[in-house]
Amino acid sequence: MKRDEWCGVCIYRAWTEMRNRFSTAARMDLVRFVSRGLPLDYVDNYIGATAQLNGSLFQLAFITRLEESSGGSHWINDKEAEVLRLGFVKPEIVSWSPRIIVLHNFLSMEECDYLRAIAKPRLRFSTVVDTKTGKGIKSDVRTSSGMFLTSGERKYSIIQAIEKRISVYSQIPVENGELIQVLRYEKSELYRPHHDYFSDTFNLKRGGQRVATMLMYLSDNVEGGETYFPMAGTGECSCGRETKKGMSVKPVKGDAVLFWSMGLDGQSDPNSIHGGCEVLAGEKWSATKWMRQRSTF
């Protein structure tokens, strides 16, 4: 499919889903945004787009480039291609509603091992966000160990490369991302179905609402531990020792799952509910990057 044809599909799909939720001016901004080259002129396009489109704009930017991601002609140089792992990363759309993309070979084996190595001595029992205070609290909803990279570690070249890659494949600016969290799930541990978007106003103060999540798998010597989306698909799937309705993604070292918590209308998508299935054997390691509407710096 040619670029202009793919943009046309994107616009048609967007208009079908948005219907009359945006003004005529907003729709025209969307057409101008999607029909122009990305990502080299990404900033100019974004500035020229109507704020009404909110986080949905990032999704459309991703969709317009999805089929071109294995090419290389529009990137600046070989170094950029290496950082983005062009020719290695293979996107696979597994669901349109909710929007879920599996990015095969997103991380190199060395990057996976590096993240595990720096995280292991700093792991602590995982928490969930308290909607009243914004602080982490212990809960049986989430039984794992985890840690966050520091702002100083964001300056390391290997972390910068990963964050650059996340930004390009999601089409969300680096500065809109939270610090990467690394998690380890051991036997019998899990994360019950939940939404990544916030239901309170306290957590919106820094960067606004969460738009999308990049979940990266750092190990594959695990039985169970699938990422489960109960509202995706129409069939059944494996989730730990159970068979459930919905769709699940098996953890494969180096793969990543990109999914959106916000719909094309700029509203939080309840269908984005997801969970981490019970680990039956081995260890499941993952790294998560949450991305917001505005800068988190």
Whether residues 137 and 62 fall in one domain: no
Q: Is 66 a domain residue?
A: yes
In tens digits, the chain (297 residues) has pLDDT values of: 443 333 333 444 444 444 455 555 555 444 444 433 333 333 344 333 433 344 555 555 555 444 444 444 444 567 888 898 988 999 999 999 999 999 999 999 999 999 999 999 999 987 666 666 666 666 666 778 999 999 999 999 999 999 999 998 998 999 999 999 999 999 999 999 999 999 888 889 889 999 999 999 999 889 999 999 999 999 999 999 999 999 999 999 999 999 999 987 788 999 999 999 999 999 999 999 999 999 998
Give the pLDDT confidence score for residue 217 in this predicted structure: 99
Whether residues 48 and 107 fall in one domain: no
Q: How far apart are CA 284 and CA 164, in angstroms?
A: 24
Give the pLDDT confidence score for residue 263 in this predicted structure: 85
Give the pLDDT confidence score for residue 68 in this predicted structure: 46
Q: Is 259 a domain residue?
A: yes
The pTM of the full predicted model, rounded to 2 decimals, is 0.77
Whether residues 145 and 171 fall in one domain: yes
Give the pLDDT confidence score for residue 59 in this predicted structure: 59
Tokens found for residue 47: 């500035």
Whether residues 28 and 128 fall in one domain: no
Give the pLDDT confidence score for residue 71 in this predicted structure: 42
CA end-to-end span of the chain, whole Å?
A: 38
C-alpha separations of 82 from 77, 79, 106, 175, 218 in Å? 9, 5, 12, 21, 20
CATH assignment at residue 265: 2.60.120.620
Give the pLDDT confidence score for residue 138 in this predicted structure: 65
The total number of structural domains in the chain stands at 2
Q: Is 93 a domain residue?
A: no
Q: How far apart are CA 90 and CA 40, in angstroms?
A: 21
Query: What is the full DSSP assignment across 206-229?
Result: TT-SEEEEEEEE----EEE--EEE
Give the pLDDT confidence score for residue 62 in this predicted structure: 53
Whether residues 115 and 247 fall in one domain: yes
| Domain enclosing residue 48, as ranges | 3-87
**Preceding omega of 39 cis (within 30 degrees of 0):** yes
Q: Is 92 a domain residue?
A: no
- CA-angle at 163, arms to 157 and 165, nearest 5°: 105
Q: Is 110 a domain residue?
A: yes
